[in-house]
Amino acid sequence: MNVTPAVVEEEYEWIRGREAVPALINDVRGRLGPLFGVEVDRVSPERYVEEVDVVFADGDRGVNVAALSAILRDLDCADDYPGFVVDEFLGRKLAATIAGGEPYALLAEATFHFADVHHHGGDGGTAGADDLDAALAAGFQTRLPGWSWTETESPFAVDGDGNEDGAGDDQ
């Protein structure tokens, strides 16, 4: 595999055009929300495309997303089971790469497994095809707004001045 800027652009266009991914994102959110007792915003196809643009605007992230996607699109293994570990590993890493740094990367990896259990098929009929869709859905659903806890300040933030009352030592 030779990953060039042209290959990254081709993979970007392919991911951008994955009409099944927003529906899978919404399916995952619709299943996870009730498990956590929350309502999670749906993601429109347009919002998904906008976020694909954001991910690929970061060239370092984009090249890794493109390479992992291309590998999964082509990955196949006779009887699938021997390839099970590698397509799961690659799917998890793709979801984490899309989501960004911690804690989102870890959440995306966990969500990948949830999405993968509920999604079968993908395009192309290869062992990695359904893992690719699950990874895209998990990564993008994790980084996109809609979960209330990601839109509020953390109750665990420390003000950094070492004083319990928040008053600094400026005197």
Residue 74: which of 86, 64, 58 has the closest Cα? 86
Residue 144: which of 35, 28, 64, 66 has the closest Cα? 28
pLDDT digits (tens, 9 = 90+) for 118-151: 766 555 566 677 789 999 999 999 999 787 767 7
Report whether 21 contacts 47 (CB < 8 A): no
How far apart (Å, rounded) are the C-alpha atoms in residues 7 and 10?
A: 5
**Residue that has been written with the tokens 């959440």 in this structure:** 107
Spans in the chain with pLDDT lower than 50: 166-171
Question: Which tokens go with 114?
Answer: 């949830």
How far apart (Å, rounded) are the C-alpha atoms in residues 65 and 56?
A: 8
Report whether 94 contacts 133 (CB < 8 A): no
**Residue that has been written with the tokens 């960004």 in this structure:** 100
Residues 6+ apart with CB under 8 A from 70: 1, 3, 7, 11
Buried b (16+ CB within 10 A) or exposed e, 56-81: beeeeebbbbbbbbbbbbebeeeeee
Q: What pTM did the predictor assign?
A: 0.85
- Residue 86 dihedral angles phi and psi, to the nearest 5°: -70, -40
Instruction: Report pLDDT for 69.
Output: 95
How far apart (Å, rounded) are the C-alpha atoms in residues 129 and 91?
A: 10
From residue 33, alpha-carbon distances to 36, 42, 48, 80 in Å are 5, 11, 19, 31
Instruction: Report pLDDT for 155.
Output: 81
Instruction: Report pLDDT for 120.
Output: 62
